[in-house]
Amino acid sequence: MNKPLTLGVAGLGTVGSGLLRLIASHADKLAEAAGRPIVVTGVSARTKSKPRGPETAKARWFPDPVALATDPGIDVFVELIGGDDGVAKAAVEAALKAGKHVVTANKALLAKHGIELAKLAEKNGVALNFEAAVAGAIPVIKTLRESLAANEVRRVYGILNGTCNYILTRMEEEHLSFDAALKEAQEKGYAESDPTFDVGGFDAAHKLALLTSLAFGTKVAFEEIHVEGIQQITAADIKAAAELGYCIKLLGVATQTESGIEARVNPTFVSMDSAISEVDGVTNCVALDSDFAGTLLLVGAGAGSSATASSVASDILDIARGIVRPPFVRPVASLKPHKRAKIGAHQGAYYVRLSVMDKPGAMAGITKRMGDRNVSLESIVQRRPRIPPSAAGDTTPTANTAAPVILVTHETTEKAIREALAAIESDGNVAERPQLIRIEEL
Question: How far out from the chain centre does Cα 199 lie?
Answer: 10
CA distance linking residue 432 with residue 205, whole number of Å: 28
pLDDT at residue 389 in the model: 52
- Kindly list the distances between the CA atom of residue 244 and the CA atoms of 237, 273, 276, in Å, as whole numbers in the listed order: 11, 12, 17
Please, are residues 434 and 425 in contact by the beta-carbon 8 Å criterion?
Answer: yes
What are the angstrom distances between the C-alpha of 385 and each of 354, 357, 362, 399, 403? 12, 8, 13, 11, 4
Q: What rounded mean pLDDT belongs to the chain?
A: 92
204 close to 257: Cβ distance less than 8 angstroms: no
How would DSSP label each residue in 28-85? HHHHHHHTS-EEEEEEE-S-SSS---GGGTTSEE-S-HHHHHT-TT-SEEEE----SS
pLDDT confidence bin for 258, thresholds 50/70/90: confident
**pLDDT at site 83:** 92
Whether residue 414 has pLDDT greater than 70 = yes
- Radius of gyration in angstroms for the set of CA atoms belonging to the chain, rounded to a whole number: 25
pLDDT tens, residue by residue, 178-216: 999 999 999 998 999 999 999 999 999 999 999 999 999
95-113 pLDDT, tens digit each: 999 999 999 999 999 999 9
What mean pLDDT is predicted for residues 411-418?
93
Rounded (10°) CA dihedral 255, 261, 267, 272: -10
Question: Could you tell me if 99 and 69 are in contact, meaning their C-beta atoms sit under 8 angstroms apart?
Answer: no
What confidence score (pLDDT) does residue 232 get?
A: 96
Q: Which amino acid type is present at position 44? A: S
Phi first, then psi, for residue 252 (nearest 5°) are -100, 130
All domains in the chain, ordered by first residue = 5-133 (3.40.50.720), 146-302 (3.30.360.10), 345-440 (3.30.70.260)
Query: Is residue 107 among the annotated active site residues?
Result: no
Segment 78-84 mean pLDDT: 95
Catalytic-role residue among 89, 207, 336, 359? 207
Given a cut of 50, whether residue 392 has pLDDT beyond it is no
Give dist(CA 63, CA 94) in Å, integer: 15
CB contact at 8 A, 399 and 358: yes
For the chain, what is the total number of helices (H) and then of strands (E)?
Answer: 14, 17
Assess contact for 230 and 267: CB atoms under 8 A. Answer: yes
Helix H or strand E encompassing 114? helix 107-124
* Sign of the CA dihedral running 373, 374, 376, 380: positive
Query: Length of the chain in residues, anyone?
Result: 442
Does 50 score more than 80 pLDDT?
no
pLDDT at residue 391 is higher than 50: no
Helix H or strand E encompassing 417: helix 414-427
- Per DSSP, the three-state class of 166 is helix
**135, burial (CB in 10 Å: exposed 0-12, middle 13-18, buried 19+):** buried
Partnered with residue 252 across adjacent β-strands are 158, 265
Q: What is the pLDDT of residue 322?
A: 95
E-only strand ranges, 131-245:
153-159, 226-227
pLDDT, tens digit, 9 for 90 and up, residues 297-310: 999 998 889 999 99
Average pLDDT over residues 386-406: 62
Task: Please give the Cα distance from 421 to 292 (Å, whole number).
Answer: 40
Query: Over the stretch 298-347, which tens digit does the pLDDT of each residue have?
Result: 999 988 899 999 999 999 999 999 999 999 999 999 999 999 987 666 78
281-292 pLDDT tens trace? 999 999 999 999
Cβ neighbour number for residue 294 with a 10 Å cutoff:
9
381-385 long-range contacts, CB within 8 A, separation 24+: 381/240, 381/243, 381/405, 381/406, 381/407, 382/356, 382/406, 385/358
Bridge partners, residue 347, by sequence:
413
Residue 387: per-residue pLDDT:
54
The confidence band for 56, taking pLDDT boundaries of 50, 70 and 90, is: confident
Q: Which residue has the higher pLDDT, 48 or 353?
A: 353
The percent of residues in the chain predicted with pLDDT above 70, rounded, is: 94
In this prediction, residue 38 has a pLDDT band, given cuts at 50, 70 and 90, of very high
| Residue partners of 73: CB distance under 8 A and separation at least 6 | 6, 8, 41, 42, 60
**Is a pLDDT exceeding 50 seen at residue 397?**
no
The DSSP-derived string for 275-340 is GGGG--TTEEEEEEEETTTEEEEEEEE-SSHHHHHHHHHHHHHHHHTT----TTSS-GGGPBP--B
CA nearest 88: which of 18, 36, 10? 10
Q: What is the mean pLDDT of residues 46-62?
A: 80
